Chains A and B, each alone.
Chain A
Amino acid sequence: MLMNVAARKEPEGPIGGDGAPTPAAEAALVAACQAGDAAAWRQLYDRCFPLVHRVVVRLGTPWREVPDVCQDIFVRVHRGLRGFRAEARLSTWLYRITVNEVNRAGRTGALWRAVGAVLGREVRSAAPEELRPDLVLERSQASTELQQILAAMRPKQREAFVLHEIEELSLEQIAEVVESPVETVKSRLKHARSDFERLRRQRQMQAAAQAALVAPEKAPSGGAR
């Protein structure tokens, strides 16, 4: 089935966010992609990319690996679209692929780090890059702080936290995405919240301690002047 997507009214807003397209528009877009319409695919890609990128970053993927993980996700989406039957919302399906792919990339990264440790070669971790001043300046301080707290959380809890608190999915949607019972998701979320609060307070205390250390050093120079 070929469809002139340009002539069709474009769905408003990104998929899964505010102003999400209606199910009918979403189905039409998917049908056009399934028929091999390149323009429809690009349209879908443009709408999905911010969501995918955001979730990939928030789920703790190192910045260096974000492009590769995003590419893998969209390759899977491209291949899986043929078999997509619209039994679930496109956004839910997209979230599921994203979460699975991020987990897979995390496992692969851990494997490489273990192999590197065995071979005596240290695989460069993502942490130093994330603390690079130029990259830190690019992002807001709040975003960096949030990212570091999320990176310190356990993966399953981070999944539930990001999908609920940042992506604003309901518990049922999260359960569908992570393929777990709602009660499990609720439990993970509860632990994730307490962890988040604990980590935030820790960072706050560390920042206060650093500020206290820096202040006496500055004071004499200010007094001499």
Chain B
Amino acid sequence: MSALHRLRDTGPPETRALLRAGADVVPPVGLAETVRRGVEQRTAPRRRARARLWLGLGLLTGTAFAFGAREVVRRGERSGPTSHAARLARGAPVAPTVIPLASVPAPEAEPVPRATPPPAGEAPAPGASASSRHRAAHSAAGPRDPRPTSGVPAAPAPGVLASDAVDRIFAAPDDARPKAHDKAGGVRPGLAPRGGADEALVSPAERLLRIGVRWEGRKEVSLAVTGSRVHGQVRGAVVDLEVKPALLEGHIGGERVLLWLRREEASGTIGGRDVAFVLTPTQRGHILRGNVPGHGVRLELASRMLSFLPGCERDLLPLPEVPGRPGTTYQGLCPNGRRLRVHLPPGWYALPELPRLIVLGMLLTEKEDILRHEAPRLLPPPEDEGEEK
């Protein structure tokens, strides 16, 4: 042990006196007792139990927040720009498939005067209809077209079932059986009897040319796409929408739909209620955000996934393309435990991006289960098979 002299022994006399005289500090009377009581109170078992409870609650809250934050970050990553490395890790972007415009019959419409002439490279042929010009303008955004590539069929993604297995899962329920409350005369305007001729007479081949939405345990919903029209029935509600230049109009279940389209935005009314949509391009596709009467809408369609809120937050993955089966089919298991399959025909892809995603958003999204029977709502609530009415 190294020894070092101390000032109190060897220092100057004044220092020695100061250190010797002032070294002792006598605690004030009662201080020791006061401090001891405080210590005993703070270290009492009851206090420790309370501290543990607070600690546990804090940990719980922190964990919940961390998981919530992670989910928010995950969504942000999905919608925001991604790095080149991240894109490579997820798979290179897929070249789009452009449907020849000539193959899509489009009704003639009155030309709409344009304030500014289109760019030279994008100018449609003279004499082309307004709707085809509109379609051509949207087709210019081809690289963002989320449709999977054609040609070599892609290998099924992990968790994707083979087509026949999916078909077994979605074995058609005995349809065309009218429900008790759908009797003629008991249907409100805009609602058609369920299982009408429009649905019953559709052949499987024709079905592939329609937008199809099949939830496990529910009847399939399918809408025909004819040129710029989307029409059919959704749970008894007649849907008839037409995409016009700068306009999406028609009816859903007797409610008038009128949406003005301007670049990446749409606004207007559905059944007299104000609605609006915004389309945001992402690296791999598009995100549509907006609202319909009764709920908000968020739909993301990318080259290899489809998801929408509320309804199915989880990604639906595309089935491998099969020669002779036109269109793309997305399928997956949703958080509510139901499998879902969505078929998008070539005619749907031929529509401009904004209105076609709005149609899909209106068709797919559903109010939360707890609110499903509350007004207002865009479409009749889904009825699960075996559900008591």
Contact = CB atoms under 8 A, between A and B. Distances in A.
B6 A170 contact: no
A204 interface: yes
Contacts of A147: 22
B22 A197 contact: no
Nearest to B23: A166
B8 interface: yes
A140 interface: yes
B25 A53 contact: yes
A142 B18 contact: yes
Contacts of B22: 140, 142-147
A172 B19 CA distance: 22
A178 B268 CA distance: 73
Main secondary structure of the interface of B (DSSP, over half): helix
A57 B26 CA distance: 10
Q: Which of A49, A172, A182 has the most CB of B within 10 A?
A: A49
Interface of A: 42, 45-46, 49-50, 53-54, 57-58, 66-67, 70-71, 74-75, 78-79, 138, 140, 142-147, 149, 164-166, 168, 170-172, 182, 186, 189, 193, 196-197, 200, 204
Nearest to B19: A165
Interface stretch (B28-36, B181-189, B359-367): B28-36
Main secondary structure of the interface of A (DSSP, over half): helix
B52 to A, nearest CB: 13
Kindly state the interface size class of chain B when it binds its partner.
20 to 34
A16 B14 CA distance: 27
B7 interface: yes
A165 B7 contact: yes
Which A-B residue pairs are the 6 nearest by beta carbons? A146-B22, A142-B21, A143-B22, A142-B22, A74-B39, A71-B38
B164 interface: no
A53 B31 contact: yes
B2 interface: yes
B24 interface: yes
B371 interface: no
B25 to A, nearest CB: 5
A138 B26 CA distance: 10
B26 to A, nearest CB: 8
Contacts of B38: 67, 71
